[in-house]
């Protein structure tokens, strides 16, 4: 999925710079992981605010529509797309675990429309079956698995290797949700790894002795360039929110979190 993917408010009393130039957060903040259950829930809500204008990400298993971004249908909890291959992988995975399901009959059609914005062989019947299948706990788990295997875990793992905080881990995750994991569904330079590579070429990551704020600011600059290439993504609300949290030094994504997304205010305070 290239979709279209996802931040907070904590004022630190101060931070110091270590000998390599990276930032040293107080307490255990530098060890904060987005894989922590509470942090992961925050990440899901932040992405949902961008993808679905709602913090209730668990209500999005049934979501499906064509947002006219050239990727066909966008659906589910992070916007799996019929035109980029992850929706096909999702339905295949669901069918592997539960052969008798409402969506198995669309695998052939999903294979044919992959790489296009076509609805051929899908249409209203597919939309209705998707919504019905979303009530199945196994389909929900299949969505969770693709999200984690293709997007969340790779993004967080890379961020940890780059020496990034929970905020940096989220910035990577939101980018991979929107721009994809570099699987060929979009040009490499427009994918998450391409954006990261462009940033690395201009600023050192904390793992290489760089400053996290400088590095993440550069990463967001490179992401902005890619977002502006498409009319569906040219609104920079996602990265504006992330820059806000970076400026507020909320490296651990501590609550309360306040931001705006496409003009709508959001808050996570409990």
| Residues with a known catalytic role | 51, 69
Q: Which two tokens stand for residue 32?
A: 């904060």
Q: How far apart are CA 40 and CA 212, in angstroms?
A: 21
* β-pairing verdict for 64-66 and 80-81: unpaired
Q: Which residue has the tokens 């994809």?
A: 180
CB atoms within 10 A of CB 117: 15
Q: Give bridge partners of residue 16 from the DSSP assignment.
A: 24
Q: Which two tokens stand for residue 184?
A: 């060929």
Alpha helices in 54-104 (DSSP H): 86-97
Q: Provide the CA 219 distance to its chain's centre, in angstroms.
A: 15
Q: Which residue has the tokens 């390599």?
A: 20
Q: How far apart are CA 14 and CA 24, in angstroms?
A: 9
Q: Give bridge partners of residue 258 from the DSSP assignment.
A: 267
Q: How far apart are CA 186 and CA 176, in angstroms?
A: 12
* First vs last C-alpha separation in the chain: 30
Q: Which two tokens stand for residue 240?
A: 């504006």
Q: Which residue has the tokens 């590579």?
A: 197
In degrees, rounded to 5, the angle at the alpha carbon of residue 186 between the alpha carbons of residues 151 and 204 is 65
3-class secondary-structure state, position 166: helix
């Amino acid at each position: 999925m290239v979709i279209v993917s996802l931040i907070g408010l904590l004022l630190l009393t101060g931070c110091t710079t270590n000998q390599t130039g990276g930032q040293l957060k107080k307490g255990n903040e530098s060890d904060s992981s987005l894989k922590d259950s509470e942090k992961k829930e925050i990440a899901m809500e932040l992405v949902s605010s961008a993808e679905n204008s709602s913090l209730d990400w668990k209500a999005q298993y049934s979501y499906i529509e064509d947002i006219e971004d050239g990727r066909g249908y966008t659906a589910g909890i992070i916007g799996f797309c019929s035109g980029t291959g992850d929706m096909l992988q999702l339905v295949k995975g669901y069918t592997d675990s539960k052969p008798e399901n409402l969506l198995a009959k669309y695998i052939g059609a999903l294979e044919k429309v992959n790489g296009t914005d076509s609805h051929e062989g899908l249409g209203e019947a597919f939309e209705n079956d998707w919504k019905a299948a979303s009530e199945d706990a196994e389909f929900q788990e299949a969505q969770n698995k693709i999200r984690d295997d293709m997007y969340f875990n790779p993004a967080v793992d890379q961020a940890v290797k780059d020496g990034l905080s929970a905020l940096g881990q989220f910035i990577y995750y939101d980018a991979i949700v929107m721009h994809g994991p570099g699987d060929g569904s979009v040009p490499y330079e427009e994918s998450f790894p391409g954006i990261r590579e462009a940033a690395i070429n201009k600023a050192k990551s904390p793992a290489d002795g760089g400053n996290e704020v400088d590095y993440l600011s550069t990463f967001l600059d490179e992401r902005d360039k890619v977002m502006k290439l498409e009319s569906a993504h040219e609104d920079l609300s996602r990265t504006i929110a992330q820059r806000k949290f970076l400026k507020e030094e909320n490296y651990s994504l501590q609550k309360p979190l306040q931001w705006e997304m496409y003009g709508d205010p959001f808050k996570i305070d409990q």
